[in-house]
Amino acid sequence: MAEGLSASEVGQEIAHHLEHSGVHGEATGHDRVVTIIEAALLAAVALLAAWSGYASAKWSTESRLFLSQASAARTEANRATLEAAETVNFDSSTFEAWFTAYVAGNEGAMEVAERRFRPEFAVAFDAWIATDPLNDPTAPPGPSYMEEYERPGIEGGQELDARADELYQEGAEAGLNADQYVRFTVFLATVLFLVGISSHFRVRGARIGLVIVGSIIFVVAAVQLLTAPFPPS
């Protein structure tokens, strides 16, 4: 889908306008001034329409890039969260094996279970044992409740989730900027239409009225276009 007015289309409209405006005929005085204004408007529309189309295309590309990066970050966040959950489940299973062996008084099985501890979990386990949980009812209920217990992947997943939210927001804003430039193109197309049909009116008042309306729309569109976010490089 085209992002803006085609330069060739605007050029054809200018040539068509000049053909019907009387420049090559007997137009004089006020008619010639109106014709010059019309031609100047069409030329300005051509320039701004080309810029608006370029800016819209750039912002659209930027939006797609941000959204694809957000999707990739979200996928990585989900993967990190799943891996973290699997690790937590593994820690829980090894601790349950140790606790079962402890209740049974099987020291050999306890040693085997402790050898299966991850190094990070072993640190939390030793810190938990140091709280004398077997005799102190106020001790934490397990190693996973200790400050020393690290939840691998959780923080990384949260960071990736936050990054995905940020990228999605940037992509949405870029998309809105692209839509804004498309709206500018619609305004410019309206000016092109009004000025294009003005030369077909033999009544000078109607012709001048169309030029005035077109000029007002053009000024509004130009001001908004010049104050719009600059497209990315």
What does the DSSP assignment read for 4-58?
S--HHHHHHHHHHHHHHHTTTTT--THHHHHHHHHHHHHHHHHHHHHHHHHHHHH
- Residue 25 has a pLDDT of 46
pLDDT confidence of 24, banded at 50, 70, 90? very low
Beta strands in 81-127 (DSSP E): none
**Does 232 map to a domain?**
no
Q: What is the pLDDT of residues 96-132, one digit of tens each?
A: 999 999 999 998 999 999 999 998 899 999 999 999 9
Percent of the chain whose predicted confidence (pLDDT) is above 70: 86
Residue 84 lies inside a defined structural domain of this protein: yes
3 state DSSP class of 228: coil
- pLDDT digits 0-9 by tens, 205-223: 888 888 889 889 999 988 9
Helices 154-198 and 204-227: crossing angle, nearest 10°?
160
- Alpha-carbon distances of 123 from 88, 141, 149, 156, rounded to whole Å: 15, 16, 7, 21
Q: How far is the C-alpha of 51 from the C-alpha of 55, rounded, in Å? A: 6
Task: Answer yes or no: are the C-beta atoms of 37 and 213 closer than 8 Å.
Answer: no
**Is residue 195 included in any domain, yes or no?**
yes
Q: How many domains does the chain have?
A: 1
Q: Which amino acid is it at 96?
A: E
233 located within any domain: no
Q: According to the model, what pLDDT value does residue 159 have? A: 86
| Structural domain contains residue 2 | no
CA distance 78 to 55: 35
Rounded distance between C-alpha atoms, residue 29 and residue 52, angstroms: 35
Spatial contact of 217 and 187, defined as CB atoms under 8 Å apart: yes
pLDDT at 11: 52
pLDDT of amino acid 58: 92
Domain, as residue range, for 78: 7-227
Distance CA 61, CA 174 (A): 9
What CA–CA distance (Å, rounded) separates 69 from 167? 7
